[in-house]
Amino acid sequence: MSRSNVGGWARLSAARPPVGAGAIAAVSAVLVGVYALPDPLRRELSFAYAEPTLVTAYTAHFVHLTASHLLSNLAAFLVVATTAYYLSARAGRAGAFVRLVATLLVAFPIALSGLNLAVPRDGVMYGFSGLNMALVGFLPAVIATYVGRRRDTAIDGAVLLVAFLGSAVYVATVGTPRSGLTDAVVLVALLSVLAIGLARYLAGSDGIGIKIGTAIPVPSRVNGVDAPAVAAVVVWVVFLSIGFPDTVAADGRVTNVYVHFLGYALGFITAYLAYECQLLK
């Protein structure tokens, strides 16, 4: 595909309705609408570990009991989703973003609630933060797609794996109490990074990418720096820090770092597989 054809295709796409923006607005409206329901009903829609149901396994992720909880999750969603959509649209992959969001809304709530039952406890789960962390997990693949299209070079998937393993080390050392399990996670992650690096070295790859011949014009560069890509990396790092704080209990509420990591890991795996299958490229 020539550069002129790519530019023409991009202009044609820009003329179409912004379905990605519509998806973001629709999710935001659902979160606000659920919060407008009576408090007793919202509590019934929460996911009780002692009495789990298939319905509440899904609905709990859209429930918030306080305005501050809703606003924090809504703000996080808007920032992360808008970042992912902007990069996807600029890379000519807005449709891929919509498919990722559809997967997030259809499959992830039940999966997260079910996996959350693996840790027996008496409590109630609610809130959009697990799904927000899944969006954060999408970001590395979205950034790689955007950068690859801009540079006319497909980013090697090994780079994404290293980014995920590095973030897992951060979560194990900062977002969870020190234990034998967290030490094992750190050791396995570091050994995996070394194994990936050795494999790429033996394969004769520089771990960056290969020519794809579909570069897109990106005018948003400042002194040679691609501002959208840098901003997206900052968003990824910041929300990793927010999602896995060093203090998990505050104001009478406990941050469920377990469901946060489940969401983040599921989001990354889904986007990574889509990237490797060239559904995002």
The pLDDT score that the predictor gives to residue 186 is 67
Q: Give the separation between CA 199 and CA 27, rounded to whole angstroms.
A: 41
The pLDDT score that the predictor gives to residue 3 is 43
User: CA-CA distances (angstroms) from residue 154 to 164, 192, 209, 217, 275?
Assistant: 18, 22, 5, 15, 10
Q: Give the separation between CA 202 and CA 93, rounded to whole angstroms.
A: 33
Q: Give the separation between CA 259 and CA 112, rounded to whole angstroms.
A: 7
Could you report the per-residue pLDDT of 227-257, keeping only the tens digit for each? 999 999 999 999 988 888 765 555 555 567 8
**What is the arithmetic mean of pLDDT over 35-61?**
94
- CATH dotted code for 3-156+208-276: 1.20.1540.10
**What is the arithmetic mean of pLDDT over 50-79?**
95
Beta-strand relationship, 153-155 and 124-125: unpaired
The domain limits of the chain are 3-156+208-276
Could you report the per-residue pLDDT of 147-185, keeping only the tens digit for each? 998 888 888 888 898 888 888 888 877 766 666 666 676
**What is the arithmetic mean of pLDDT over 265-272?**
93
pTM of the model: 0.81
Q: Give the separation between CA 169 and CA 183, rounded to whole angstroms.
A: 9
By residue count, the chain amounts to 281
Which bin fits 95, alpha (ψ -120 to 50), beta or left (φ > 0)? alpha
Strand segments, DSSP code E, in the chain are 47-48, 124-125, 153-155, 209-211, 221-222, 225-226, 249-250, 253-254
Give the gyration radius of the chain's Cα atoms.
20
